[in-house]
Structure 1
């Protein structure tokens, strides 16, 4: 089975049932199925064939979901991108995986054409425009295309993540990788056609895979939460009460905001049957009252990098009063095998004392990616997550920290090297080091600069420089100027020292203390 066949089967069973509710329109399974066929034929007319990559650079919508399905029905792979990406970053992705056809808006199409990408062909999500527009799809048949053959090992989609070399890297996920996770979730949650899934995560974030395809597999409905509302707590709580979501999946930060500023816990009769969270640790002081308030709801902490989607899980049934650390990431899921390997030595690797050996979590199994685009395939080799964990007496795992310098902000994985590479293109910045300070909702990106200019670049100028080159979640929150960077004995940038400095208050002139 492939991802497009999930919708085809649900449409055959319950064509009148609601499949997806978007900010633009609501589609039944029958409508989604027919629209996906029209899109597939339209893309075929633009030259898309089996094995190609098709970009998706547009806001979250039911039309975008239909486009994903249409792309899959040609045996092609879709590449979702942040709609707020600067065009420079989108161009990097388009060139990297050699995308010739893009589903986008008219204004974005003009921006790319003016930027030198004349070869691109477009399907516009608007009803009119100089390119093939959405209204033009009515000229294509809604009949199913000739079956291209079910190849579970074929590339289904590419998710671009932050790269340590300064450029984004594409994580290649096959239909088999995705289905191993989706089918496991379907069984774990006992999904039925009566369920109502929320889709909080953007499509370029791997959390969205559960929302869409686990709902479709069960013949349930999924409601798309627009990006503008993703961290608007009052609006989110209103949406929960109106849509009566039975399955919610998001980063903990969103749920904490809903509790603290949205009044979530003021409502006695919340609809959640299953509540899942991932992407970052859930502080126990916030998780405990939520767990106690929703006594009849199943809670799951899911863990896994983009390269494996989810590879472990822990069901949170009871939180002891004495517990202060986040709940474990749990045991293997989705048919994967996980174990600890001795961590490679690194200057900045966290050191932990106490019971239980700490090692790097390794993953092997059906969810492990095909590989990174343009690099040698993974070929069923174990994937080293870079996360340090400790195995608990019950066989589950507890997350300790990172082996390398990777950061996470609100569940988004990012490499400081990519931000640093962008900042070093600024003519007034000689050296730079980026670290994260705080955690959860208080997490912020701090850039330490060595500048040869007087005065050094301001925070506003640095933010503007970032915004022209990086996605919004990589824009630094704070800038501090140093006379020189701290170094380790072997001359490397001492990130541990920078993290310590980031926890201190900056001096009145904006420079780092000390």
Structure 2
């Protein structure tokens, strides 16, 4: 029985030591080198943090070989890695590390300046100033430290949008990742020595699962350069050149590839597993992919970040018409999902309600945020006999006649955009309270056009350029509204609150 994910890596590095673990452009690293470098790096980390375990350590690096080494080194230390988005404005990075208070931040020459005024220099480790060739480690010391780690100890922290302007740090543990990895190995077509076309940022949970595949299956991670996001043809060429067998992507880029008919020009004959999650994949474009890649198994996965990776899956094994939604399927092994109506009773077939989740896949909560944790992770209303935590997703779904769960939409102001989960309230908070650009405003999301729209009252003469430049100092690009509409007065409901439903109707 696996206690932590490093049990996988030990077996894999002994089985295929010379196989390539990570490819980054012209650079590559073998499993033996990756394991050795991570162990040496863990020794350096421990000298700085004086043997502290079960605490967060942040990584502020672009997605590269050093990121993988650092994350695994942090595991060897018995701590939890927290990857930070290097494109995020400094103020947002400051908000995150002020809340989480990591023991250490690992970075490099390129990004260290972002920490100059917000974090003490003695708690920063610059990988560009380290020569691992001159480092050693003690396997006995490593083993002794890891013997204190159990499967419910934290593995990583992933930050998600928060309504008050400060992101929430979701804590995920070893056991939940091991559960998902074992489910994937025994349920899907993935196997030993997969070649992964790794597109997701290191701050996504998909990246963390790619690490699991690397450790458990000896998979090779081929890092897709961030700059290729705007050039889907070059991404496909990279996949073809490296004979990629597996991808786990957010649908946005897959839609673009379908719309440009690129799979005709750049066929991917090696690709045999296509997974997607994070947002709705329009069925017309999905059918294009399935038509062009007849050899591949397609799986639609669903799950908020508070559920480790995903809690439901749908293996596309039947034809779907272009106007039929792709089901999110059934629950993964060792996870239970159920649908509750507004009275907290179980919904019947074809009755819409809120999807709720229970099981070891649940996150441990939000780091240093007991109030938010208590509000989101609650007692199962169907069970009054003993403590049983569930997570209420806020997603409206139904179960169809086939026993498949169908996603219908959100019940609150949380959206999924470009694979990121965004609290619309956080955008409003920044514009109105932090930046004070307007006195009253409301952010809505158009599912039809995939655009974030900001409505505000006629009280300030500010240009779209000024809106975007000011917001961009605080929020990442994916959270900046695309459209700004000024109204003399925002619609109000009977309680005097802004009528979001009315604005939503205007949007659609």
Residue number among 434, 439, 459 corresponding to 1:430 in the alignment: 439
The superposition leaves residues 455-505 of structure 1 with CA deviations (integer Å, 9 ceiling, x where unpaired) of: x211111111111111221011111111121112222221122222234xx
The alpha carbon displacement at 1:334 in A equals 3.3
Question: Which moves more between the two structures, 116-125 or 100-109?
Answer: 116-125
CA distance in 1, matches of 2:358, 2:485: 42
Two-structure CA RMSD over aligned residues (Å): 2.1
Structure 2 gaps of 5+ residues are 378-386
After the TM superposition, which residues 5-20 of structure 1 pair with which residues of structure 2 at under 5 Å, given as runs?
A: 5-20=7-22
After the TM superposition, which residues 298-377 of structure 1 pair with which residues of structure 2 at under 5 Å, given as runs?
A: 298-308=297-307, 309-321=309-321, 324-343=323-342, 356-376=350-370
Residue number among 453, 461, 468 corresponding to 1:446 in the alignment: 453
The alpha carbon displacement at 1:119 in A equals 5.4
CA distance in 2, matches of 1:428, 1:293: 48
Of Structure 1 and Structure 2, which has the larger fraction of its residues in helix? 2
Question: Cα–Cα, structure 1 residues 276 and 488, in superposed 2: closer, same or farther, change >3 Å?
Answer: same
CA distance in 1, matches of 2:324, 2:413: 22
Equivalent in the alignment of 1:473:
478
CA distance in 2, matches of 1:287, 1:277: 10
The answer to whether the 8 Å contact 2:21/2:29 transfers is: yes
Count, aligned residues: 483
Question: Cα–Cα, structure 1 residues 367 and 428, in superposed 2: closer, same or farther, change >3 Å?
Answer: closer
Residue number among 133, 136, 142 corresponding to 1:141 in the alignment: 136
The answer to whether the 8 Å contact 1:334/1:366 transfers is: no
Equivalent in the alignment of 1:229:
228
CA distance in 1, matches of 2:79, 2:350: 46
Equivalent in the alignment of 2:74:
71
Residue number among 414, 417, 431 corresponding to 1:409 in the alignment: 417
Equivalent in the alignment of 1:421:
429
After the TM superposition, which residues 109-508 of structure 1 pair with which residues of structure 2 at under 5 Å, given as runs?
A: 109-113=112-116, 115-118=117-120, 121-126=123-128, 133-135=129-131, 137-144=132-139, 145-147=141-143, 148=145, 149=147, 150-261=149-260, 263-268=262-267, 270-308=269-307, 309-321=309-321, 324-343=323-342, 356-376=350-370, 378=377, 381-424=389-432, 425-439=434-448, 442-453=449-460, 456-503=461-508
What secondary structure sits across from 1:279 in the alignment?
coil
The superposition leaves residues 366-419 of structure 1 with CA deviations (integer Å, 9 ceiling, x where unpaired) of: 111001112346585011111010011222211011111111212211001111
What secondary structure sits across from 2:409 in the alignment?
strand
Q: With structure 1 as the length reference, what TM-score do the two structures score? A: 0.89
What secondary structure sits across from 1:93 in the alignment?
helix
The superposition leaves residues 153-182 of structure 1 with CA deviations (integer Å, 9 ceiling, x where unpaired) of: 001100000012222101100111111112
The alpha carbon displacement at 1:4 in A equals 2.7
CA distance in 1, matches of 2:273, 2:437: 51
Structure 1 gaps of 5+ residues are 127-132, 346-353, 504-514
Question: Cα–Cα, structure 1 residues 165 and 427, in superposed 2: closer, same or farther, change >3 Å?
Answer: closer
The alpha carbon displacement at 1:269 in A equals 5.2
The answer to whether the 8 Å contact 2:357/2:391 transfers is: yes
Q: Which runs of 4+ in 1 moved over 4 A?
A: 377-380
Equivalent in the alignment of 2:55:
52
Equivalent in the alignment of 1:25:
27
The superposition leaves residues 33-81 of structure 1 with CA deviations (integer Å, 9 ceiling, x where unpaired) of: 0000111011111115202211111100011001000001111111111
CA distance in 2, matches of 1:180, 1:232: 35
